[in-house]
Structure formats: C-alpha cells, structure tokens
C-alpha cells in the first residue's frame, strides 16, 4: 500500500505540474474563448462517462477480489474480454453520435461566442473522435488499479500527459495555433495511451486455461453491482456537471472560461484525493472479503489520512485563490474573475474529499443503493436551487450550490451508512476523523493567513515562497491534529532516538 500510495501521489503531482504548465500556454496561444471550448470538452468527457455503466468501478472491485484467489485467472480474463467488448461498442456509438450532431451542438448550445460556427462545429466533431479513444482507458486503468499495479499505471499516465502537451506545442509551432490542431494532437496522444494501457493490462492478467472469451455469464455474475455503479454514476455526474452545463448556456463563452479556470484550480485537490482512494479502495475490498477484524481501525486511519492530506491544500486555495491564479497565469483579469469562484468551489470539493473513505467502505461491501438514492434526492432538490442561484449570483451561484450539495452528504449520508456498516463507528468518524482535526487545522490556517504580508504577494517568487511555506506549516499542524499520523510520527521519532 505504501508503494502504491507514493506512486499515486507522485503520478498525480506530475500530471498536475504538466496541467499547471499547460493551461496558461493554451490560453496564451488560443485565447479565452477557445480555452472555453477545451473546458466544454472536459465537461463533455465527464458527462459521457455515465455510459461507462459502472464497468470501470466493477473492474476495480472484481480484479481486487479475484486476485486474492490462485485459480481465478480464466475468470479474470473472460471478465476483462466481456467488459472490453461492451465498453468499446458503447464508446464508438457515443463518439459517432457527437460527430453526427456536432453542427447542432455548436449552433444550439454553444451560442454566446465570437468564434465562427464552422470553427466551433469542427471542434465539437473532434471532441467526439477524442472521446472514442479516451473513454476506454478508464476500463483498463480500473483493471490495473484492482490488480494493484498502480506504479505502472502512473508511469503510463504521466508519460501520456507529457506527450499531450508536447504534441500540442509541436502542432502549434509547425501547423499554427488553433483549436482544431489542439484536438488533433489530443487524439494522437490518447490513442497511444489507450493502446498502451490495454496491452500492459492484458500482460499483467494471470494465465487462463483457454483464450479469453466474451462470456455472458461473467457479466450476469456482476451485473447488479455494475448496474448500481452505473446508476450512481449517472446521477453523480449530472450533479457534478450540472453547473457547467447550465452556465455554458446562459453565460458568454468568456465568462464560462472563468468558471472553468476556477474549476481547474480546485481540481488540484483531486490530485491528492484520488491517489488515496485508489490505494485504499482495493485494500478495503480485500479486507471486507476476508472479514478482517482490523477493518474498523483501518477505516478511521484511512479517513484521518484523507483529511490530513486534503485540508492543507484546500485551505491554501481557499485563502489565496487570486494570488495562486495570478502566479499561475500572470493575468490580473483572470485572477480577479476566477479567484472568488475558486474560493467557494474549494469548500465543497474539500467536503467531498472527506466522504471518499465512507464511499469506499460502501463500495467494498457491494452497496451502491445508498449513494444512488441520496444523489437522486439531491438532484430533485438541488436542480431548481442551482437554476435559482445561477440566475441570482451568476458563476458564484453555481459554486455555492456545490458547497450545499457536499455538506448535505456529510450530514445525511454518513449516519445512514453507519446504520448498516460499522454501526458503532459513526461518532468516532465525525469527531476524530473530521471535526476535531479539521477544526484545528482550519483555525491554524485562519491565524496564519493574517501573518502573510499582502504587499509581498505582488512578487511572483515571494508569492510562491510564502504560499508554499503556508501550506507546509498547515501540513505540520494537520499531521499533529490526527491521532493516526501523530502516532506514526511519534513512533518514528522514538525509533530514531533508540537507534
């Protein structure tokens, strides 16, 4: 687990660094409106992930569960082939659908732009092609995660991100900076990435008795969990992307680009959330399958670890959003417009992050219905609320609803989950894993931010040093506020002095 966690965090940092470098380059070369199209592609990618039908999540769980057995090679290979056939068929159909309706989407949905209809239509068509070669990667990545081959997966992902940026810059240099050349470069990089991930995944699968085959019974064996994950994904994606889908319709593409930029900054938090989840979830599946009595203690350890890692990053972005965006983009207008949005969005994202461990516990036990019904109720309640807030407060209104949504999960989902799973652990989660360490590091951040001289944040190098120091100090406080990490540190110190 330590090796996987380190590789996941390192891979995440590498990908984040590449993306941080890429965004201001894309905005400089293409302009805010074309960057808004890139943001729309990201949203479209997230929306169409609902047609995954829960297959990627099921692949993670089944590979982790079956890998504990020595005679499951054939079942693993047949399941992989079955999911592969279904996934590719659905993905190709979706990509062709986007291509066929590219003119309609560009003329009826992306309307508030000075870009020519032909440019927007071609960009949407290329988005459809990109989706065909991008979406299947999640299936193979899920398989490698379940097999706990996460070091290899992170190497592939890191190389892919570097290739995407280098190919785009090469295309811009030799063919000219255009949104079409951006997507041509993406298609090439994504094709190479998907093929590479697929080949590596199949090589890691244990040998079977015969060649892997499409087996209907393999799908029927896991269809309930897959269907539950698929329905959960549909509702979750709608909730997560509704603000962006609504904003692109009612705002200009330039205003929408500010929201996208704020979301990109906030998405940095997922770069520490996702690696922890990817490391913990397969292990929890194995512990649940083995009925390991150590599960309650590990559950609290993982929950505290998540907060220790998430809180300092979230609080840094929350207190210094304008300074971070200005340092990143060197654009005063972007920092002024996107900063307030990011400071609100980060609160909701931090709340979502601490829910990842309770969510992992549910999935490890094969339970998808709770999150689905909670999300469904949230959708009914928050859809009109989102429409109201966006119309009243504009871009910041969508961010406010994101906070309300994720705070509701903490207050509602956790008690409902602990009525069935680890019944005696709910209040321990609230106090020791969330409230107490969160309050300590939050109070420290509030005090420390007053000690950062505002005048010094006008210089890029001083901004980097001061905000970096602020984050490091928060990590020290956060580690000390958690009993899990505090005990680890004390044991290491004691061992150091004894030797």
pLDDT digits (tens, 9 = 90+) for 235-255: 777 777 777 767 777 667 777
For residues 385 and 354, give the distance between their C-alpha atoms in angstroms, rounded to a whole number.
24
- The alpha-carbon radius of gyration of the chain (Å, integer) is 23
Start-to-end C-alpha separation, the chain = 26
Share of the chain above pLDDT 70, in %: 96
For residues 278 and 2, give the distance between their C-alpha atoms in angstroms, rounded to a whole number.
12
pLDDT at position 456 is: 59
Q: Which whole-number Å values give the CA distances from 59 to 134, 226, 237, 256, 481, in the listed order?
A: 17, 9, 19, 35, 36
Show Cβ contacts of residue 118 under 8 Å, excluding neighbours closer than 6 positions: none
461 contacts 299 by C-beta, under 8 angstroms: no
Q: Which whole-number Å values give the CA distances from 392 to 33, 108, 387, 405, 479, in the listed order?
A: 24, 24, 9, 18, 40
Rounded to 5°, the CA angle 333-335-341 comes to 115
pLDDT at position 475 is: 93
| Strands (E) located in 3-65 | none
pLDDT at position 412 is: 92
For residues 253 and 68, give the distance between their C-alpha atoms in angstroms, rounded to a whole number.
50
CB atoms within 10 A of CB 118: 10
pTM exceeds cut of 0.75? no
| Strands (E) located in 11-97 | none
For residues 368 and 236, give the distance between their C-alpha atoms in angstroms, rounded to a whole number.
12
For residues 157 and 77, give the distance between their C-alpha atoms in angstroms, rounded to a whole number.
23
Residue 70, burial from CB neighbour count under 10 angstroms (0-12, 13-18, 19+)? exposed
Stretches where the chain sits below pLDDT 50 are: none
Per residue in 246-255, is it b (16+ CB within 10 Å) or e — as a string?
bbbeebbbbb
Q: Give the max Cα distance, the chain.
A: 71
Residue 301, burial from CB neighbour count under 10 angstroms (0-12, 13-18, 19+)? buried
370 phi and psi angles, rounded to 5 deg: -60, -55
CB atoms within 10 A of CB 451: 9
408 contacts 401 by C-beta, under 8 angstroms: no
pLDDT at position 206 is: 84
370 contacts 416 by C-beta, under 8 angstroms: yes
Task: List the one residue out of 408, 427, 439, 429 whose CA is nearest residue 304.
Answer: 429
User: In this structure, what is the dihedral angle of CA atoms 317, 245, 130, 274, given to the nearest 10 degrees?
Assistant: 40
For residues 258 and 262, give the distance between their C-alpha atoms in angstroms, rounded to a whole number.
6
Residue 414, burial from CB neighbour count under 10 angstroms (0-12, 13-18, 19+)? middle
Alpha helices in 290-435 (DSSP H): 295-319, 321-329, 332-354, 356-364, 369-393, 395-408, 414-418, 426-428
For residues 357 and 306, give the distance between their C-alpha atoms in angstroms, rounded to a whole number.
8
pLDDT at position 215 is: 83
pLDDT, tens digit, 9 for 90 and up, residues 342-397: 999 999 999 999 999 999 999 889 888 888 888 888 888 877 887 788 788 877 88
């Amino acid at each position: 687990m330590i090796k996987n966690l380190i590789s996941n965090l390192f891979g995440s940092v590498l990908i984040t660094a590449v993306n941080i470098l890429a965004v201001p380059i894309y905005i400089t070369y293409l302009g805010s409106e074309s960057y808004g199209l890139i943001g729309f592609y990201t949203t479209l990618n997230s929306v169409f992930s609902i047609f995954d039908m829960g297959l990627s999540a099921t692949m993670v769980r089944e590979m982790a569960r079956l890998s504990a057995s020595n005679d499951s090679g054939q079942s693993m290979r047949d399941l992989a082939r079955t999911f592969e056939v279904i996934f590719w068929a659905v993905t190709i159909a979706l990509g062709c659908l986007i291509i066929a309706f590219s003119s309609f989407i560009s003329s009826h949905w992306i309307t508030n732009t000075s870009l020519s209809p032909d440019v927007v239509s071609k960009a949407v068509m290329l988005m459809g092609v990109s989706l065909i070669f991008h979406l299947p990667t999640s299936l193979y990545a899920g398989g490698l995660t379940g097999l706990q081959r996460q070091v290899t997966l992170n190497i592939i992902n890191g190389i892919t991100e570097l290739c995407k940026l280098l190919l785009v810059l090469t295309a811009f240099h030799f063919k000219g900076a255009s949104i079409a050349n951006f997507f041509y470069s993406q298609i090439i990089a994504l094709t190479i990435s998907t093929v590479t991930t697929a080949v590596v995944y199949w090589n890691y699968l244990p040998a079977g008795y015969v060649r892997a085959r499409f087996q209907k019974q393999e799908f029927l064996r896991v269809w309930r969990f897959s269907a539950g994950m698929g329905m959960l994904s549909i509702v979750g994606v709608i909730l997560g992307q509704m603000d962006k889908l609504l904003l692109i319709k009612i705002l200009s593409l330039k205003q929408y680009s500010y929201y996208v930029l704020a979301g990109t900054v906030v998405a940095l938090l997922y770069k520490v959330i996702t690696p922890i989840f990817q490391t913990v979830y397969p292990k929890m599946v194995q512990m649940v399958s083995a009925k390991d009595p150590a599960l309650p203690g590990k559950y609290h350890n993982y929950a505290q670890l998540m907060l220790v890692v998430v809180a300092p990053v979230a609080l840094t972005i929350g207190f210094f959003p304008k300074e971070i965006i200005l340092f990143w983009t060197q654009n005063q207008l972007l920092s002024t417009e996107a900063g307030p949005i990011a400071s609100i969005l980060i609160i909701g994202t931090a709340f979502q992050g601490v829910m990842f461990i309770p969510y992992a516990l549910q999935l490890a036990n094969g339970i998808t219905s709770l999150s689905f019904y909670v999300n469904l109720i949230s959708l009914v309640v928050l859809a009109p609320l989102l429409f109201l807030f966006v119309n009243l407060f504009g871009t910041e209104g969508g961010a406010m609803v994101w906070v309300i949504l994720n705070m509701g999960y903490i207050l509602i989902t956790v008690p409902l989950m602990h009525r069935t799973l680890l019944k005696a652990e709910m209040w321990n989660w609230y106090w020791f894993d969330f409230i107490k360490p969160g309050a300590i590091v939050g109070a420290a951040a509030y005090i420390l931010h007053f000690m950062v001289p505002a005048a010094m944040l006008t210089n890029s190098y001083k901004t980097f040093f001061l905000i970096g120091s602020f984050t490091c100090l928060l990590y020290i406080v956060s580690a000390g506020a958690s009993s899990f990490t505090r005990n680890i540190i004390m044991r290491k110190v004691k061992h150091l002095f004894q030797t």
